[in-house]
Chain A
Amino acid sequence: DSGVTQTPKHLITATGQRVTLRCSPRSGDLSVYWYQQSLDQGLQFLIQYYNGEERAKGNILERFSAQQFPDLHSELNLSSLELGDSALYFCASSVGRKNEQYFGPGTRLTVT
């Protein structure tokens, strides 16, 4: 158990809908990262937050947004969902300069 929690574990929704994925980092970790994993693309970095502020952005679609709250938990919002958004979404957290990222169990999103 990495100490990173994600909810929900599974999500099935229809095209055009909007969903919110939630992540709680390990105690003491200030950085939260979101990654998408699909069969053809592998693990792709989406976005990083550090202590409530956006730190880095990857290939995150404009339909996707994220935020980190004062209690350091983070939410990833996916809207106008398409079939191609079906994937595993992972959250990771880290502390300090070593950047050893610890991953949560993931949310499996299925868009039908």
Chain B
Amino acid sequence: EDQVTQSPEALRLQEGESSSLNCSYTVSGLRGLFWYRQDPGKGPEFLFTLYSAGEEKEKERLKATLTKKESFLHITAPKPEDSATYLCAVQASGNTGKLIFGQGTTLQVKP
């Protein structure tokens, strides 16, 4: 069964303290791995798509990497405005766009 597990569930950082969020997945043929940011009560906001092991993408203080079994979202020198829930999702091979989401990591960055 296709599955996505994110860790940790919650992470508290001081402003400027870099860290990484983990997304482990098991899927029958990976078509894509997606990272989203979600603020409370709002819709997920698309961040990155990764398609193959070794691929990396960057956006401001965020960098996403992908291996054959997991993805990491690295946050460098975070600011309070980076506080949010970060969701990882996978799309399995096939002709559908169905995304399977992990439970998310809730990040709090304190000033």
Using CB atoms and an 8 Å cutoff, list the residues of chain A in contact with chain B. 2, 4, 31, 33, 42-45, 48, 55-56, 58, 88, 90, 92, 94, 98-106, 108
B43 touches A2 (CB 8 A): yes
Q: Determine the distance from Cα of A45 to Cα of B99 in the docked complex, in whole angstroms.
A: 7
A11 to chain B, nearest CB (A): 14
Query: 16 A-B pairs, CB-CB below 8 angstroms?
Result: A2-B45, A33-B97, A33-B98, A42-B103, A45-B100, A56-B96, A90-B43, A92-B43, A94-B97, A98-B32, A99-B31, A99-B97, A103-B46, A106-B41, A106-B42, A106-B43
Q: Determine the distance from Cα of A104 to Cα of B43 in the docked complex, in whole angstroms.
A: 6
A55 touches B45 (CB 8 A): no
B101 close to A (CB within 8 Å)? yes
Residues on B with beta carbons closer than 8 Å to the beta carbon of A98: 32, 49
Tally of contacts, chain A with chain B, CB under 8 A: 64
A31 touches B87 (CB 8 A): no
Interface residue tally on B, bucketed by range: 20 to 34
A31 touches B101 (CB 8 A): no
Residues on B with beta carbons closer than 8 Å to the beta carbon of A56: 96-98
Residues on B with beta carbons closer than 8 Å to the beta carbon of A4: 43
Give 5 new A-B contacts, CB below 8 A, not counting A43-B101, A55-B96.
Answer: A48-B98, A94-B97, A99-B97, A99-B99, A102-B46
